[in-house]
Amino acid sequence: MAMNIDTAKIKEWLYEVNSLFSQLEHEELYEQMNHLVMDVNDQICQDEITDDLKEQYKHLASKLYFSILAYVESAGLPEHHQKCKSELEPFLKDDNSLLESGYHAPTGDLYSKFVEKCWMLLTPFQEFNGENTDEMFKQYGLQYLENILNNTAVIIRALNINPKSEAQVYNAVKIVTSSTFSDSNYTSESFQKIAKCYKPDILIPSLNCAVEYKYAINEQTLIRTIDEILIDVEGYKSNNIYKLFYAVFYVKSGIWSISRFNAVWKEKKFPENWKGIMVTA
């Protein structure tokens, strides 16, 4: 057994590499969407962001590669060590291969073929073969979704929308979620309670998650909408499909910093299955 190698760190890097991969996929999408509205300076800045992500991705992929080789070598399996080297090394020698994506039909998610190959080569080991494939792809899908939600302002700008309501914000984001997740719903399923019917703005059954958007033009509105979400938490409980919830607050610039928002969100003691995201217009 490969006891002297940190398997938790290898797993962490596997998810982190795929997270960087998903960011790159969406940076390319946003770059295409923004092409007509970007000036030269914006384009240069966007290119720099993409190049930086690629360097991070390649650097971490290299660390992951050598860690896997060390892990397999410490297990005393020279033939499998050679197999890992021969199947993973080509990815590191060719950027196009390293950035190649695959498609997971059940969830409609894109994923890194390099990461998929890493997982496949690690499955003979007990420390890794307990990973549920569907759960793994769900984690990848959630990474994609969070990247989309965090880039709400980019999507709004790319579509040349000047939103005046929550509906205008989440309907713009639905254009991207529906093209990324095959089961992303346009029509919300209701969470029926005795006194009130709750209807999330975006539903993705394959990820067991729902998204609620709020729109705030000043601090008072932002505080009020956070409290509204806190009240609504009870209405979303005990659903057989949807277990994870995102509350995305699209706010005017200068109202709060991200750190201030996160501090308030923590102070409100939202349940662990609720994630708050603030996006500045």
Backbone angles phi, psi at 239, to 5 degrees: -95, 140
Structure tokens at 202: 């975006």
CA distance 140 to 160: 29
pLDDT tens for each residue of 126-150: 888 665 566 666 777 888 888 889 9
pLDDT at 132: 57
pLDDT tens for each residue of 35-88: 544 554 555 556 677 788 899 999 999 999 999 999 999 988 999 999 999 999
Question: Which candidate, 21, 12, 22, places its Cα nearest to that of 146?
Answer: 22
Residue 3: pLDDT band (50, 70, 90) is: very low
Domains of the chain: 7-147 (no CATH), 151-280 (3.40.1350)
CA distance 22 to 19: 5
pLDDT tens for each residue of 185-233: 655 565 655 445 568 889 988 888 999 999 999 999 999 999 999 988 8
